[in-house]
């Protein structure tokens, strides 16, 4: 490989490949490779950053340095990365033709480009490291917290969120800076990244002495969450689904009568006439402005569900079709989704489509005082996730589709900022790199009401926080539940206890059985869709109500603390749900724990994740810890066995 140095950037050329390594933020490099001769100007997940690196040539190849991080590019073309003198990452290299052109060779490249034209199937291979632990990557519905050994699809699905950044126990962070659909495999023999369609290889990595330092550097170049609204720190009430204006007000009035503060109440889907109308059905919502005024007088904000789907009978379909504002199909029918309507999907990657959608939202909701939006189906959800079948304004879904949820959040956030709003938080079912800077509260999707699903949410919440998303929540009790299940109340209590120590406490779920008659026999409008059973705090009997109220009161007593933790997320990117090693990186035991976590810096939470569990072990690291239920003080490091009757989830406060 032939090397040149230009303005501190290292450029290598060999055969048809051009390789570019440059400083991108503190102790960090951005690495790109292409066969196209020139690099894309698209930042993808990265924001602009300083380039403080220094590069120079050596007899063995070339070196580029940026603070703690050093990259060595060998004459044979493969790279190694060092933090000081310690190797942290190395490209996979088994090709010996450079040493002896006539010797046998595996012909397996660390950087591989296959395809035609200017787009390629891009693959990057790295050596596996014994003992390395991998965390982050967004949200996957699995109990694995340590992702070493996992194969992960890089694609958005309902309840699966691909954010291709990981934090390594070896002291570095790595971002696959590419919104393409693909795969990441953290194998025992090698790590392999693949983008199914891309114009270049593009990744970013940094070195750091602690997980906190790594996350801070990563969010410095991808963005951080804004200030979280103080008027949304308490209880969010939601169910499938409040069907009328009066139903919403009755619930809010009952919370008021019981003296329970209600920060947010949510109006779910099919409050409209047809998907894509983005407006209330006036039959069931005759005066939304009056409803919002009464809710505000009770101290409650109102959120409405906004779907990206547009029924072909919608009042907006014709204009949007003519203006080219939909995701397109590559062949056959243009239908993209078929849930209670023949629908297409607006294209959030098209700025004109984002502007069109906000215009409707402003006129039909925002002007009535509704300033919180539930951006459901934000992956977006298709009839089938055949990504090679879809095309966006900026290119094929295989190449750019993973960025859809971030741009969807961006459209709303930037429009609300233009309106002068500052207390912005919108609920989304998906995210990508940088979603956090657009006020995205990400929830974990339509999950089952089981203890297995509850266990998965702990790993999901911890990993998505390490991938840069500090605002995260799950459906308390799971989404698909049936109140006839004899174990449902126990599950709901355990889930609520966990949710009380999450960034947001939100009641939601589709509670069966579905035996409540519809309000209308029509196959459209606000009266035809199902509604679930009641899902308020008092809906499950006095014993459950007492426990839920107890944990809500605990959370409300911590409002100042929770606000301070969320403020820290805005300052340095720290997650709210924190892996134990985030606060105690020097404690080897904390790198092994996957069933307890830190809620900010001071509270250790150990949720009960198994049905019928009456005690559990809790590890307390070094320090003095106070049981918030009993006041008992314990000195760590120590493992204790804590009794867990139904009204107790172990929580300890760290002194000092």
Helix (H, G, I), strand (E, B) or coil at 491: helix
Query: From CA 338, how far away is CA 344, in angstroms rounded?
Result: 9
| Secondary structure letter of residue 438 according to DSSP | G
Q: Phi and psi (nearest 5°) for 260?
A: -100, 115
Query: From CA 336, how far away is CA 321, in angstroms rounded?
Result: 14
Choosing from 47, 414, 446, 602, the catalytic residue is 446
Query: From CA 319, how far away is CA 188, in angstroms rounded?
Result: 53
Structure tokens at 35: 């066969």
Helix (H, G, I), strand (E, B) or coil at 599: strand
Instruction: For residue 335, count CB atoms less than 10 angstroms from its CB and return exposed for 0-12, middle for 13-18, buried for 19 or more.
Output: middle
136 contact partners, CB below 8 Å, separation of at least 6: 147, 163, 165, 166, 167, 173, 463, 466, 467
CA atoms lying within 13 Å on the CB side of residue 31: 24
The residues that bridge with 328 in the sheet, in sequence order, are 391
Query: From CA 308, how far away is CA 325, in angstroms rounded?
Result: 11
Query: From CA 508, how far away is CA 497, in angstroms rounded?
Result: 14
CA-to-CA separations, 442 to 193, 374, 379, in angstroms, rounded: 25, 10, 11
Structure tokens at 20: 């570019």
H helical segments located in 481-603? 488-500, 542-557, 559-572, 580-583
Choosing from 268, 376, 381, 456, the catalytic residue is 376
**Is-cis flag, bond preceding 466, omega within 30?**
no
Task: Classify the C-alpha dihedral 275-358-279-508 as positive or negative.
Answer: positive
Choosing from 379, 510, 536, 583, the catalytic residue is 379
Q: First CA to last CA across the chain, in angstroms?
A: 55
Q: How many CB atoms lie within 10 A of CB 318?
A: 10
Q: Are 22 and 8 in contact (CB under 8 A)?
A: yes
Specify whether 27 is catalytic: no
Q: Phi and psi (nearest 5°) for 147?
A: -90, 0
Q: How many CB atoms lie within 10 A of CB 645?
A: 9
User: Locate tokens 């889907």: which residue?
Assistant: 269
Specify whether 379 is catalytic: yes
Specify whether 446 is catalytic: yes
| Secondary structure letter of residue 557 according to DSSP | H
Query: From CA 451, how far away is CA 410, in angstroms rounded?
Result: 34
Helix (H, G, I), strand (E, B) or coil at 183: strand
| Whole-number CA gyration radius for the chain | 26
Which helix (DSSP H) or strand (DSSP E) does residue 331 occupy? Answer: none
Structure tokens at 1: 């490989």
Q: Phi and psi (nearest 5°) for 359?
A: -60, -40
Q: Are 481 and 475 in contact (CB under 8 A)?
A: no
CA-to-CA separations, 500 to 467, 492, 589, in angstroms, rounded: 22, 12, 26
| Secondary structure letter of residue 382 according to DSSP | -
Q: How many CB atoms lie within 10 A of CB 496?
A: 21
Reading phi first (left if > 0) and then psi (alpha if -120 to 50, else beta), residue 122 is in beta
Q: Enumerate the active-site residues.
A: 376, 379, 446
């Amino acid at each position: 490989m032939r090397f040149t140095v230009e303005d501190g950037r290292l450029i290598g050329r060999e055969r048809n490949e051009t390789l570019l390594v440059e400083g991108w933020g503190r102790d960090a490099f951005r690495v790109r490779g292409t066969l196209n001769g020139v690099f894309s100007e698209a930042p993808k997940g990265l924001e602009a950053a300083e380039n403080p690196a220094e590069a120079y040539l050596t007899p063995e190849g070339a070196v580029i340095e940026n603070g703690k991080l050093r990259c060595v590019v060998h004459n044979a073309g493969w790279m190694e990365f060092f933090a000081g003198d310690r190797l942290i990452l190395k490209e996979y290299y088994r090709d010996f033709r450079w040493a002896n052109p006539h010797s046998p060779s595996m012909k397996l490249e660390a950087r591989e480009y296959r395809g035609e034209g200017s787009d390629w199937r891009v693959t990057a291979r790295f050596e596996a490291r014994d003992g390395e632990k991998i965390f982050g990557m967004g949200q996957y519905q699995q109990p694995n917290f340590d992702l070493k050994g996992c194969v992960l699809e890089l694609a958005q699905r309902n309840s699966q969120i691909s954010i291709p950044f990981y934090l390594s126990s070896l002291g570095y962070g790595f971002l696959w800076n590419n919104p393409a659909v693909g795969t990441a495999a953290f194998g025992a023999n090698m790590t392999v990244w693949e983008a199914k369609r891309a114009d270049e290889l593009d990744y970013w990595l940094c070195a750091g002495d602690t997980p906190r330092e790594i996350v801070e550097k990563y969010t410095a170049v991808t963005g951080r969450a804004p200030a979280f609204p103080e008027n949304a720190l308490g209880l969010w009430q939601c169910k499938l689904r409040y069907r009328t204006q009066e139903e919403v007000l009755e619930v809010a009035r009952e919370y008021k009568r019981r003296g329970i503060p209600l920060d947010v109440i949510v109006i779910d889907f099919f409050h409209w006439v047809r998907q894509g109308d983005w407006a209330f059905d006036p039959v069931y919502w005759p005066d939304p402005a009056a409803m919002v005024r009464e809710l505000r007088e009770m101290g409650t904000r109102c959120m409405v569900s906004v779907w990206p789907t547009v029924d072909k009978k919608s009042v907006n379909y014709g204009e949007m079709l003519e203006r080219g504002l939909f995701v397109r199909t590559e062949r056959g029918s243009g239908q993209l989704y078929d849930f209670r309507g023949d629908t297409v999907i607006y294209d959030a990657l098209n700025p004109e489509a984002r502007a069109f959608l906000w215009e409707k939202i402003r006129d039909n909701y925002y002007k009535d005082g509704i300033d919180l939006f539930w951006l459901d189906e934000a992956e977006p959800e298709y009839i089938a996730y055949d990504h090679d079948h879809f095309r966006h304004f900026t290119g094929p879904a295989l190449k750019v589709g993973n960025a859809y949820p971030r741009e969807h959040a961006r459209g709303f956030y930037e429009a609300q900022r233009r309106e002068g709003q500052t207390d912005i938080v919108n609920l989304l079912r998906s995210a990508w790199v940088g979603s956090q800077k657009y006020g995205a509260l990400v929830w974990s999707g339509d999950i089952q009401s089981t203890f297995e699903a509850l266990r998965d949410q702990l790993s999901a919440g911890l990993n998505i926080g390490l991938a840069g998303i500090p605002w995260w929540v799950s459906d308390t009790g799971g989404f698909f539940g049936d109140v006839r299940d004899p174990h449902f109340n126990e599950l709901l209590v355990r889930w609520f206890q966990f949710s009380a120590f999450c960034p947001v406490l939100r009641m939601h779920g589709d509670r069966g059985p579905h035996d409540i008659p519809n309000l209308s026999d029509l196959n459209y409008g606000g009266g035809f869709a199902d509604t679930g059973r009641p899902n308020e705090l008092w809906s499950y009997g006095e014993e459950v109500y007492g426990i839920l109220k107890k944990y809500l009161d605990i959370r409300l007593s911590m409002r100042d603390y929770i606000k301070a933790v969320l403020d820290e997320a805005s300052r340095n990117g720290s997650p709210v749900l924190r892996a134990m090693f985030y606060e105690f990186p020097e404690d080897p035991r904390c790198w092994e724990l996957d069933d307890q976590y830190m809620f900010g810096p001071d509270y250790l939470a150990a949720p009960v994740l198994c049905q019928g569990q009456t005690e559990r072990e809790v590890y307390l690291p070094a320090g003095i810890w106070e049981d918030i239920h009993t006041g008992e003080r314990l000195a760590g490091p120590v493992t204790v066995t804590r009794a867990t009757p139904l009204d107790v989830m172990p929580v300890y406060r760290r002194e000092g």
